[in-house]
Amino acid sequence: MNRTGQHFQSLQELIRALANHASLINELFEKRNLSIRKEDALPLVDDKEERLHYLQQREVIRENGDFTELDERFIDFFEQVLDVNAEINNAFIKESLEALQNNIHYYIEEKSTSRKSSYLRKVKAEIRKITNSTWRNVLDLRRNIEDTYKTEPNYKIKIDKLQHYDRKRIDITELIQSTETLCFEKERLFFSQATDEELNRIKWQLRIVFREVQHQLREIEKQTIEYLNQARSRSALIEKLHKVKFLKDRFELKEYSNFVQVLK
């Protein structure tokens, strides 16, 4: 995405801007799934439009019609750091897996000791990312499935969402298998060459987390199947009741329908 706004000149300026506008940013983040009107945002910056303009120029916030919203980059960052993201981001793991494979290849091909060390650091960083992201995605997946089943009032939408999350479960399972194949089968040469104590710890931490995650994914699969069956059953019952109501409203219940048969 091309961005045309002004940039923060330093990390210090960014931190200062976030601190000075903490009330607004906190409100926008807490209500990121809702809409906040500009007139409601202004009191959070002492009714000074220039402060909103400052944040808009630096793409911390944006205007969407009459509403003020936090930029997606900051939403993503805060959700990741606070571990409250609602979406399951498997694309991030795929990117880390690709970067891991590339850096392993670069390490093996590189002759310079200093550059090999640089690639090794990147390998360790990517394995940590995959470990943490996979764990977080499974927790988010379980929570989203529970929330969908308990709070989504429309049964057709409930079923669609549960099926969507089940596909996410399959994606996570496949990413785990790809990562394990890469780390424990394909790249044995790298792990035999890179005799690094920290790397070994990170690698085995990955395996421990993956074992726990795979157990959770099996439980999630069972729960999702149960929820889907219950939702489909309820949806079918509601359709039958609607049919009964339709016939009754048209004074045709006795003439054209067997009430007991409809409810079977």
The CATH number given to whatever domain includes residue 200 is 1.20.58
The pLDDT value recorded for residue 259 is 54
Q: Is residue 234 part of a domain?
A: yes
> Does residue 23 belong to any structural domain of this protein?
yes
The tally of domains found in the chain comes to: 2
- pLDDT per position as a tens digit, 55-80: 999 999 988 888 899 998 898 888 87
pLDDT-above-90 percentage for the chain? 58
- Is pLDDT of 257 > 70? no
Q: Are 48 and 114 members of one domain?
A: no
- Domain assignment present for residue 133? The answer is yes
User: What per-residue string of b and e applies to 126-161 under the rule 16 or more CB within 10 Å gives b?
Assistant: bbebbbbbbbbbbebbbebbeebbeebeebeebbeb
Residues 6+ apart with CB under 8 A from 254: none
Instruction: Classify residue 184: in a domain, yes or no.
Output: yes
Whether residue 70 sits in one domain with residue 32: yes
Say if residue 19 is in the same domain as residue 109: no
Are residues 221 and 103 both part of a single domain?
yes
Full residue range of the structural domain in which residue 224 is found: 87-249
The larger pLDDT score, comparing residue 34 to residue 234, is at 234
- Most confident by average pLDDT, 29-38, 79-88, 200-209: 200-209
At which residue do the structure tokens 């990121």 appear?
A: 32
Same domain, 71 and 96: no
Residue 262 domain flag: no
End-of-domain residue from the set 37, 59, 77: 77
Give the integer Cα–Cα distance in Å for 220 and 61.
Answer: 37
Query: What integer is the mean pLDDT of 86-114?
Result: 88
Same domain, 100 and 179: yes
CATH number for the domain that contains residue 22: 1.10.10
Placement of tokens 């900051």 in the chain: 74
In a domain, 36, yes or no: yes
User: Do 188 and 60 share a domain, yes or no?
Assistant: no
**Cβ-defined contacts of 178-181 (< 8 Å, 24+):** 178/97, 179/97, 179/100, 179/130, 179/134, 179/206, 179/210, 180/207, 180/210
- What pLDDT is stored for residue 205 in this prediction? 94
Asked whether residue 207 is assigned to any structural domain, the reply reads yes
pLDDT tens column, 206-232? 999 999 999 999 999 999 999 999 998
Among 26, 42, 77, which residue terminates a domain? 77
Q: Indicate the residue among 77, 103, 130 that finishes a domain.
A: 77
Whether 195 is in a domain gets the answer: yes
**Do 175 and 214 sit in the same domain of this protein?**
yes
- The tens digit of pLDDT for each residue in 132-182 reads 989 989 999 999 999 999 999 898 999 999 999 999 999 999 999 999 999
Pair 93, 66 in one domain: no
Same domain assignment for residues 93 and 53 = no
Indicate whether 72 and 98 sit together in one domain: no
If asked whether residues 106 and 163 sit together in one domain, one would say yes
